[in-house]
Amino acid sequence: GYRSRAAYKLKEIDEGLQLIRPGQLVVDLGAAPGAWSQYLRRKFAPKEAGTGGAAVGALNGTIIALDLLEFEPIEGVHFIQGDFREEVVLKQLEEAVGGRPVDVVVSDMAPNLSGVEITDAARVEHLIELAIDFAQNHLVKNGALVCKVFHSSGYSQLVELFKAHFRVVKAIKPKASRDRSSETFLVGIGLKNG
């Protein structure tokens, strides 16, 4: 099993778009409690026939995860605790990436919501802008960025922002989040000026 049902959202997105492949470097933003990292890890684990899919040997791929909260370690996942909005934390993340090209950035980050629509829209937008900046600086040419957004105020601006940066933009509402309000995932594939 997974630490959270959130894993099934990433699974659906990945199965629809084939984003995650062994050998990649993936950055997982807002990673706690760790279900998306677990999903990524399983995709990167070499499987041996006859073990029922049990993982054997070293991971084929790199996962760098980041969250404000603590994160129970997952073997092979490099975790950084801190606020993605802070310069020092971004530096730590960039040090972990170490100049390597990043294949996919996934972000399930959600800000603390105040209930005031305009404030919340601004908080969501700020995190997305930072994630896009990071993607712009680190993604491979055909890399992908997956971000959680909310289908409420500010949504269409976020779609436009994605379209300004990526050649292909998709909005996906996984069945796994059906009951969960207005949550939608924007996926940008291929930087326009990468």
- Which residues are marked as active site? 148
Determine the interface stretch with ligand SAM among 32-40, 42-50, 53-61, 171-179 (rule: CB under 6 A): 32-40
Q: Which of 20, 16, 54 is nearest to 37 (CA)?
A: 20
The footprint of ligand SAM on this chain (CB under 6 A) covers a number of residues equal to 22
Count of beta carbons in the 10 Å neighbourhood of residue 173: 15
Q: Report if residue 8 touches ligand SAM, rule: CB under 6 A.
A: no
Stretch that binds ligand SAM, among 13-21, 61-69, 138-146, 177-185 (CB under 6 A): 61-69
| Candidate ranges 55-63, 104-112, 136-144, 156-164; the one touching ligand SAM (CB under 6 A) | 104-112
3-state secondary structure of 53: coil
Q: How far is the CB of 44 from ligand SAM (least distance, A)?
A: 16
**According to the binding rule CB under 6 A, does residue 110 interact with ligand SAM?**
yes
Query: Do 190 and 166 contact (CB within 8 A), yes or no?
Result: yes
- Contact between 191 and 139 under an 8 Å Cβ cutoff? The reply is yes
- Is residue 33 at the binding interface for ligand SAM, with CB under 6 A as the rule? yes
- Say how far apart CA 126 and CA 101 lie, in whole Å: 24
Closest residue by beta carbon to ligand SAM: 30
160 backbone dihedrals φ, ψ, rounded to 5°? -60, -40
Separation of alpha carbons 43 and 60, rounded Å: 9
Cβ 67 to ligand SAM, closest distance in Å? 4
Among positions 18, 69, 175, 193, the unique one binding ligand SAM when judged by CB under 6 A: 69
How far apart CA 74 and CA 185 sit, in angstroms, is: 25
Residues in the chain: 194
Sole window of 60-68, 134-142, 153-161, 174-182 interacting with ligand SAM (rule: CB under 6 A): 60-68
x/- track of binding to ligand SAM for residues 83-102 (CB under 6 A): xxx-----------------
DSSP state, 79? E
Judged by CB under 6 A, does residue 190 bind ligand SAM?
no
Q: Select from 141, 174, 31 the least CA-distant residue to 93.
A: 31
Residues lying near ligand SAM in the complex (CB under 6 A) are found at 3-4, 6-7, 30-36, 66-69, 83-85, 108-111
